[in-house]
Amino acid sequence: MTNELHCAEITSIPLKPKVDIDSGDGHKKFTTLLTLIASQPGCRTVYWGRQCEYPDTVQLVVEWQTLEDHKKLLSTSEYEKAVAATKPLLCGNIETHHIELDPNALVTPLTAPVTECLVLYFGPTRRRSTFDSNWDYFVSAASKTAAEAHSISGGWAIEDVFLPTIAGQTRGGEHDEHDEGIKSIMFGGFIGWPSVDAHMRFRAHEQWDRVVRPLRDGPVQHDMWHVKFKKFELGEDRIGDGGGGHHGAAMAVGG
């Protein structure tokens, strides 16, 4: 990873239905985990929220100075204990990936009232430079036509992704944990919006198809959801509503 880029940790936490992390024991365990993450050297910001379309999934986005900073946390006994304490709250495995982004690229999209989270999966032989050009076109075109979009940022995952695992984790489906599935590479993007409805209105724009067409060139699979992110600050004793009460219809690139 180059010195100019930071590492964004993208973590999905699947909660059991109706688990309360806003009060009581669930709140205490979840806050302990976020406090541990936020207090680590190299951790710049911690954002969290429930996926609007799938409110039993909590989305974490953590900006690290480097990937090594996060790895150091993962190797500590304190982290193992904090994660183990959350196990009774979960209905599956925590899924984590990392993408490379320019410093501060997440600030505007993740502090918007609603953030569109987009993931695109490519075959392992896909030339990244080809899609980089497509993404640059999309960012430029969307910035000119989507007046309500706050900001757009994106980057490539550092590690390989295995599609059945991601699809099963994200949507709560079942898969064989011993079957690694199809090796893929992942691109993650974030777009800030004033509301889910604002995003949906952009879909009805006459230029919509022209703007998103480059994103359809290459991915073998894609997914999208919205999150009302909150920034976690050290010393907070109340997490509050992470956006589970918001509604939104999922938009796929091919929609």
pLDDT digits (tens, 9 = 90+) for 17-69: 989 999 999 999 999 999 999 999 999 999 999 999 999 999 999 999 999 99
Among 107-116, 121-130, 242-251, name the most confident range. 107-116
Are 223 and 119 spatial neighbours (Cβ–Cβ below 8 Å)?
yes
Is the pLDDT at 230 greater than 90, yes or no? yes
Containing structural domain, residue 79: 6-231
Q: Is residue 239 part of a domain?
A: no
Whether 10 is covered by a domain: the verdict is yes
**64-98 residue pLDDT tens:** 999 999 999 999 999 999 999 999 999 999 999 99
Residue 58 per-residue DSSP state:
E
In Å, how far are 141, 153, 217 from 163, measured between CA atoms?
29, 23, 18
The three-state secondary structure class of 133 is: helix
Question: Per the domain annotation, does 222 fall within a domain?
Answer: yes
Cα separation, 63 vs 99, in Å, equals 10
Could you tell me whether strands 114-122 and 183-193 are parallel, antiparallel, or unpaired per DSSP bridges? antiparallel
pTM for the structure as a whole? 0.84
pLDDT, tens digit (0-9, with 9 covering 90-100), for 129-173: 889 999 999 999 999 999 899 899 999 999 988 875 444 444 444
Residue 17 maps to a domain: yes
In a domain, 218, yes or no: yes
Residue tagged 């090594």 (tokens): 68
pLDDT by residue (tens digit) across 180-208?
678 899 999 999 999 999 999 998 888 88
Look at residue 237 and tell me if it is in a domain: no
Give the residue ranges of DSSP H helices in the chain. Answer: 24-38, 67-74, 77-86, 107-111, 128-145, 163-171, 196-203, 208-212
Determine, yes or no, domain membership for 38: yes
Please give the pLDDT value at position 235: 77
User: How many CA atoms are closer than 13 Å to the CA of 37, on its beta-carbon side?
Assistant: 25
Q: Compute the distance between CA of residue 67 and CA of residue 72 in angstroms, rounded to an integer.
A: 9
Q: Residue 253: its pLDDT value, please?
A: 38
> What is the model's pLDDT at position 138?
95
Please, are residues 250 and 225 in contact by the beta-carbon 8 Å criterion? yes
| Whole-number pLDDT of residue 204 | 87
* Count of structural domains, the chain: 1
pLDDT band (50, 70, 90) for residue 107 = confident
- Residue 180: per-residue pLDDT: 62
Is 255 inside a domain boundary? no
- Domain containing residue 177: CATH number: 3.30.70.100
